[in-house]
């Protein structure tokens, strides 16, 4: 699923220093209810810090859970008493160019003209709380587009991404948010880091973008190179581990029947 729609011939050119974005970052957000209500927190902090001039999409009504953004915000009032007031002042929905609502096209690359007009990609991952590590196309889209990223994801997600051979941007900006296990503090650290980036001059941003070219090119080539073999090997290893458990009699099944299925 990570490679769905990521056809090289369709993409922008590989990472290049010759970019002139007008926005510091972009962040697409569609589903805001249920397990993904952290996206409302992200929008709230962006509003409080004056970051809404960037490309941030968000619905007024969650297209999957059928709850309003105000209802989602209400669950965080004990932590952030002004969250509903702040969210209500944001003109919603916030859509990307060519959209009238948040479309179910997050796995594709063709609808993101905003990517060409933004320096940094901020994926608000499907999973944010808990210890489960779960990377999706949201993060890998940034890599396939040749863009740097700051992840709104569970603690240690950058560490997990590096375990697959990718590089992150601790030499460019502060990535200590990845070690913060308090979900509220982590999202505050992320948005404050974005605030720092937005305060930089065009000259500083351009220089920063030049300094990260080696990382961007490495990640781009790794995604379209060794990464697929790594995850296919991982799939095969996991499959063989499960099969070995069955063959060793640790699961009380009729093994001959399962052998037929595997064959």
Residue 182 structure tokens: 């308090």
CA 3 to chain centre: 15
Whether residue 4 has pLDDT greater than 60: no
Cβ pair 47, 69 in contact under 8 A:
no
Whether residue 261 has pLDDT greater than 60: no
How far apart are the C-alpha atoms of 100 and 65, rounded to whole Å? 19
Give the SS3 label for residue 233.
helix
Cα–Cα distances (Å) from 94 to 42, 65, 86, 101, in that order, read 14, 18, 15, 8
Alpha helix segments (H runs only) across 30-107? 38-48, 69-74, 83-88
Cβ pair 88, 79 in contact under 8 A:
no
pLDDT at position 257, please? 47
pLDDT at position 110, please? 58
Cβ pair 25, 121 in contact under 8 A:
yes
The residue whose two tokens read 């992200």 is: 42
Q: What is the DSSP letter of 27?
A: E
Q: Using one digit for the tens of pLDDT, what is the confidence trace for 15-71?
A: 666 778 899 999 999 999 999 999 999 999 999 999 999 999 999 999 989 899 999
Q: What is the mean pLDDT of residues 170-186?
A: 97
Q: Using one digit for the tens of pLDDT, what is the confidence trace for 92-144?
A: 999 988 777 766 665 566 557 888 899 999 999 999 999 888 898 889 989 98
pLDDT at position 108, please? 62
Q: What is the mean pLDDT of residues 1-6?
A: 57
Residues 6+ apart with CB under 8 A from 68: 60, 61, 62
Greater confidence, 220 or 248?
Answer: 220
Cβ pair 118, 24 in contact under 8 A:
yes
Q: Which residues pair with 23 in a beta bridge?
A: 118
pLDDT at position 262, please? 47
Burial status of residue 160 (CB atoms within 10 A of its CB: 0-12, 13-18, 19 or more) = middle
Spatial CA neighbour of 67 closest among 101, 40, 104, 100: 40
Q: Using one digit for the tens of pLDDT, what is the confidence trace for 198-242?
A: 999 999 999 999 999 999 999 999 998 899 899 989 989 888 888
pLDDT band at 247 (very low <50, low <70, confident <90, very high): confident
pLDDT at position 209, please? 93
Cβ pair 101, 68 in contact under 8 A:
no
């Amino acid at each position: 699923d990570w490679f769905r729609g990521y056809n090289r011939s369709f993409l922008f050119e590989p990472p290049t220093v010759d970019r002139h974005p007008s926005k510091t970052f972009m962040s697409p957000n569609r589903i805001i209810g249920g397990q993904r209500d952290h996206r409302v927190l992200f929008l709230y902090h962006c509003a409080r810090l004056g970051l809404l001039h960037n490309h941030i999409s968000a619905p007024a009504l969650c297209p999957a859970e059928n709850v309003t953004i105000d209802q989602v915000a209400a669950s965080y009032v004990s932590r952030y008493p002004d969250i509903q007031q702040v969210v209500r002042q944001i003109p919603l929905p916030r859509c990307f160019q060519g959209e009238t609502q948040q479309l179910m096209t997050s796995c594709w690359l063709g609808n993101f003209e905003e990517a060409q007009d933004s320096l940094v990609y901020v994926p608000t991952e499907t999973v944010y709380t808990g210890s489960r590590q779960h990377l999706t196309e949201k993060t890998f889209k940034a890599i396939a587009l040749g863009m740097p990223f700051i992840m709104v994801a569970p603690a240690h997600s950058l560490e997990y991404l590096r375990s697959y051979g990718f590089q992150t941007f601790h030499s460019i900006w502060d990535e200590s948010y990845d070690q913060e296990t308090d979900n509220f503090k982590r999202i505050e650290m992320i948005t404050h880091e974005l605030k720092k980036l937005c305060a930089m001059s065009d000259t500083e941003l351009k220089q920063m973008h030049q300094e990260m070219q080696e990382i961007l090119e490495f990640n781009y080539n790794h995604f379209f190179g060794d990464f697929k073999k790594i995850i296919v090997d991982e799939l095969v290893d996991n499959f063989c581990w499960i099969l070995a458990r069955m063959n060793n009699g640790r699961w009380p099944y009729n093994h001959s029947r399962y052998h037929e299925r595997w064959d």
